[in-house]
DNA sequence: CTTTGCTGTTTATGGCGTACACGAAGTAGT
DNA sequence: ACTACTTCGTGTACGCCATAAACAGCAAAG
């Protein structure tokens, strides 16, 4: 019943969106596999996630998993939705900025708990119900602004990618530290053979002596602030446009789909104004 | 001579920073290996880069490569610097914003030519001369602003990660399209079994019917603009602070390392003002 | 001539995803 | 009750991957 060609995405959708399946008392089951896989990935990262290890953790053979999951790819899809389900999006109040920031920080927290989330690559991961719920909520934070629909989508995408990018450096750092037993600071500190060669680079040297690396900014906080500032600039601009009135009748001005600013609210007003210019 | 333990980073530095090595007329050589590897990765992505395939491309056995390169990791380091060498940072004129934008677009172009660049993960890649030159130039674009050193570094890091994040979705999209022969649009268009379930999500549905996905923003352009806007907000703030004068003597005001705004340029002026307040 | 060092090859180990054929156990139909 | 069919877990096997270790050919140095 769970069997289906590994590269049939619709079967993936099926697996993701069916809820509350009976869990047999014993033996394998999809939820059990997914949970084991999540635990494993939490411990060892996405690269350390292998079908063999998941099976070992459950006390079954590798191939037994394929009776329930089409393959590794789809397993990752399921894991993704599983962990998002563990962290439901809390309802926040406040303006768009406060809510969007809260969403970003929430996503950041999730990624600290499940670092492998940021490592998931691929443009064709079918979203499960929890992923969609999160996405919908993120979109909703900006729904009240004057941003155009495509802009709302773009901003949400940008924030998501920002969080993932930041999480990724965190993950990599952690992984290398665990693997080598040497802290990041220590490791870079021992690269004298590299530093010797950096004197020729003026700005680098200048910022170095100015202590730029001694008290670095918090990468996530700093980036998020800049990013939200940038969004705010756009929101304000759109708000101004929204507040402008038609030059003829003073009525509300709908933004053009092209983005080009309008002066009149309708062809009728445009004509009225033209006639007045000619006659007056 | 090229041999050294695979996990000795100093040996990696050596490999990266020695320039103009003699190239033997025939047989293997480090530059030849690196060039072949770059070509391979251009074709098949970083995941498709294997020691076997590189060796095959050169007509040697797999293990022969290990006589010249410590391992796959270091090979990637070398490839990185190789491609940056092909695209030297052009000197741009204009304000910090124009220059920073040009740098970002330049990086974007490189990533379009060598998509695997964005796929390189890991926090301990030793930079080669070309990488450092690029980094130094990026830093220099902001050196003239009133940003604090740590902020200059943070901004440059953020822009770099942004470009990589955007490039990554591009890469993934391309890869999946090539692998499956189905275009991204087509693929998502066929996910009816998914769309059926999305009606319950209000904002999503609303944006969908509003046509938000019909004419999407250019992800890179849009993001870069927001990002630079956000940086500009900070630069302006710092400029204002810089332009403020000492409340006592009117002299220039150095920013405190803590970031807390200052009122007086020195302890002396602070004392003078205090005495005046008490006596006047 | 022998020694040493560089280069490329061969062989082998251990990891990975997963295709395929099989056996055991349960279920439905007669 | 007996058969036919499905479900689930297993064992084996293939083809990929990185790389360790021992070895063979060759040149220059002693």
Give yes or no for residue B251 having a pLDDT over 90.
no
Identify the band that residue B22 occupies on the pLDDT scale cut at 50, 70 and 90: low
> In tens digits, what is the pLDDT along chain A, a chain of 280 residues?
333 456 677 787 877 887 666 666 677 899 999 999 999 999 999 999 999 999 999 999 999 999 999 999 999 999 999 999 999 888 888 999 999 999 999 999 999 999 999 999 988 888 999 999 999 999 999 999 999 999 999 999 999 999 999 999 999 999 888 888 888 888 898 888 899 899 999 999 999 999 999 999 999 999 999 999 999 999 999 887 766 666 676 666 665 655 555 667 777 777 777 777 777 6
A223 contacts in chain B (CB < 8 Å): 154, 158, 161
Are B219 and A151 inside 8 Å of each other by CB?
no
B15 or B199: which carries more pLDDT confidence? B199
More confident residue, A165 or B18: A165
Residue B30 reports pLDDT greater than 70 = yes
Question: Between residues A12 and B24, which one has the greater pLDDT?
Answer: A12
Chain B residues in contact with A9 (beta carbon < 8 A): 187, 191
For every residue of chain A, which 3-state class applies, written as one string?
Answer: CCCCCCCCHHHHHHHHHCCCCCCCCCCCCHHHHHHHHHHHHHHHCCCCCCHHHHHHHHCCCHHHHHHCCCCHHHHHHHHHHHHHHHCCCCCCCCCHHHHHHHHHHHHHHHHHHCHHHHHCCCCCCCCCHHHHHHHHHHHHHHHCCCCCHHHHHHHHHHHHHHHHHHHHHHHHHHHHHHHHCCCHHHHHHCCHHHHHHHHHCHHHHHHHHCCCCCCCCCHHHHHHHHHHHHHHHHHHHHHHHHHCECCCCCCECCCCCCCCCCCCCCHHHHHHHHHHHHHC
Interface of A with B in 49-88 (CB under 8 A): none
Q: Which residue of B has its CA nearest to A201?
A: B136
B178 and chain A in contact, CB less than 8 A: no
Residue of A nearest to B139 (CA): A203
List Cβ neighbours of A9 (8 Å cut-off, separation of 6 or more): A124, A126, B187, B191
pLDDT class of B3 with cuts at 50, 70, 90? very low
One-letter-per-residue 3-state SS of chain B: CCCCCCCCHHHHHHHHHCCCCCCCCCCCCHHHHHHHHHHHHHHHCCCCCCHHHHHHHHCCCHHHHHHCCCCHHHHHHHHHHHHHHHCCCCCCCCCHHHHHHHHHHHHHHHHHHCHHHHHCCCCCCCCCHHHHHHHHHHHHHHHCCCCCHHHHHHHHHHHHHHHHHHHHHHHHHHHHHHHHCCCHHHHHHCCHHHHHHHHHCHHHHHHHHCCCCCCCCCHHHHHHHHHHHHHHHHHHHHHHHHHCECCCCCCECCCCCCCCCCCCCCHHHHHHHHHHHHHC
d(CA B139, CA A205): 11
Note the pLDDT of residue B1: 40
pLDDT tier at B90, thresholds 50, 70, 90: confident
CB-contacts to strand D (7 A): A 1-2, 27-28, 60-64, 66-68; B 6, 49-53, 62-63, 66, 71-73
**Residue B32 class from Cβ within 10 Å (0-12 exposed, 13-18 middle, 19+ buried)?**
middle
Q: Which is more confident, B92 or A19?
A: B92
pLDDT given for residue A127 in this prediction: 92
Report the C-alpha gap between A208 and A210 in whole angstroms.
5
Dihedral angle over CA of B167, B169, B170, B176, nearest 10:
140
How far is the C-alpha of A78 from the C-alpha of A49, rounded, in Å? Answer: 14
Chain mean position to CA A233: 21
B273: pLDDT strictly greater than 90: no
**Within a 10 A sphere around the Cβ of A244, how many other Cβ atoms?**
13
Are residues B153 and A212, on separate chains, in Cβ contact within 8 Å?
yes
Give the predicted TM-score (pTM) of the model: 0.85
Cβ of A158 within 8 Å of Cβ of B222? The answer is yes
- Name A41's Cβ contacts closer than 8 Å, sequence gap at least 6: A48, A49, A79, A114, A116
**List of residues 6+ apart from B118 with CB closer than 8 A:** B111, B163, B164, B165, B167, B168, B170, B171
Q: Taking the C-alpha atoms of B210, B203, A130 and A227 in order, what is their torsion angle to the nearest 10 degrees? A: 90
Cα–Cα distance for residue pair B235/B183, rounded to 1 Å: 42
Q: What percent of chain B clears pLDDT 90, i.e. is strictly above it? A: 61
Which positions ≥6 away from A169 have C-beta within 8 Å?
A: A219, B123, B161
Question: What's the CA gap between B265 and B280, in Å, rounded?
Answer: 21
* Residues paired with B252 in a beta bridge: B245
CA B172/CA B119 separation, integer angstroms: 9
* Mean local confidence (pLDDT), B187-204: 91
The answer to whether residues A247 and A274 touch, using CB atoms and an 8 Å cutoff, is no
Instruction: Give just the sign of the alpha carbon dihedral A200, B9, B3, B29.
Output: negative
Phi-psi region of A69 (alpha: psi -120 to 50; beta: other; left: phi over 0): beta
Q: Which residues, 6 or more positions from B250, have their beta carbon under 8 angstroms from its beta carbon?
A: none
Tell me the C-alpha distance between A58 and A75, whole Å. Answer: 15
Q: Stated in angstroms, how far is A173 CA from D19 C1'?
A: 24
Residue A2: its pLDDT value, please?
A: 36
Measured distance CA(A14)–CA(A227) in Å, rounded: 37
B160 in contact with A, Cβ within 8 Å: no
């Amino acid at each position: 019943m769970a069997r289906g060609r590994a590269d049939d995405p619709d079967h993936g959708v099926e697996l993701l969106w069916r809820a509350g399946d009976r869990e047999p008392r014993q033996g394998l089951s999809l939820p059990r596999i997914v949970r084991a896989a999540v635990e494993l990935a939490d411990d060892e990262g996405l690269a350390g996630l292998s079908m063999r290890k998941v099976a070992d953790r459950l006390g079954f053979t590798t191939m037994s998993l394929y009776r329930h999951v089409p393959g590794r790819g789809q397993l990752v899809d399921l894991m993704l939705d599983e962990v998002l389900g563990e962290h439901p999006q809390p309802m926040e109040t406040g303006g768009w900025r406060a809510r969007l920031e809260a969403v970003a920080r929430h996503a950041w927290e999730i990624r600290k708990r499940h670092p492998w989330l940021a490592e998931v690559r691929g443009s064709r991961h079918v979203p499960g119900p929890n992923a969609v719920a999160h996405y919908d909520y993120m979109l909703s934070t900006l729904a009240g602004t004057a941003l155009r629909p495509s802009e709302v989508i773009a901003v949400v995408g940008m924030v998501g990618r920002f969080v993932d990018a930041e999480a990724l450096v965190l993950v990599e750092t952690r992984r290398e530290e665990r693997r080598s037993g040497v802290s990041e600071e220590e490791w870079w500190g021992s690269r004298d053979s590299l530093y010797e060669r950096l004197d020729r680079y003026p700005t680098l040297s200048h910022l170095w002596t100015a202590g730029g690396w001694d008290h670095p900014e918090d990468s996530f906080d700093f980036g998020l602030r800049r990013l939200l500032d940038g969004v705010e600039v756009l929101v304000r601009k759109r708000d101004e446009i929204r507040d402008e009135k038609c030059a003829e009748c003073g009525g509300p001005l709908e933004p053009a789909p092209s983005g080009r600013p309008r002066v009149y609210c309708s062809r009728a007003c445009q004509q009225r104004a033209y006639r007045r210019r000619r006659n007056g």
